[in-house]
Copies of this chain bind each other. A is one copy, B any other.
Amino acid sequence: MSSLPVVNQPPHRCGALIDYVARRLRLRTETVLAPLGIRPRHLIALTVLRDRGGISQQDLAKILEMDGTNVVGLLNDLEAENLVERRRSATDRRRHVVELTDVGAKLLARAEFALAAVEDEVFSDLGDDQRETLYELLQQATKSATEGCREPGPC
């Protein structure tokens, strides 16, 4: 009869919370990133490309869940600053293979360094270990999302 101790806690929804924190971060990130010549959404793209370089624009659009035409503009920005490189795929010359350049990787590193101050402020209520836990949870949550979508089935 006695099943496992069903905690039966009302499962908390953190959707609004994440949106809120993201906004607080983005507002500050914008100003910190401005001297580097990029904006928050560029930072996302660079981060994705560091994890998964050598990706087609279409796959990038899927990962970012953005319209393809807007990805073009995003990559135009990044390529104009030499942060990203579009190569023709050898196997399918219609495809562009997008990759971070050395300049891009260095700028990303600088951006993250600059972001430290921002996160120190927004996450001032969290300890270092908690921040690391948060990072790991987010990393894990986005893991399958940033995996290639070459498999069959719903992608």
Contacts and interface: CB of A to CB of B under 8 A. Distances in A.
6 contacts: A13-B119, A14-B119, A18-B25, A19-B41, A124-B144, A126-B137
A2 interface: no
A65 interface: yes
Interface in A9-40: 9, 11-27, 29, 40
Interface of A: 9, 11-27, 29, 40-41, 43-44, 46-48, 64-65, 112, 115-116, 118-119, 122-126, 128, 130-135, 137-145
> How many copies make up the complex?
2
Given A19-B26, A24-B145, A141-B123, A116 B44 contact: no
B138 A122 contact: no
B15 A18 contact: no
A125 B143 contact: yes
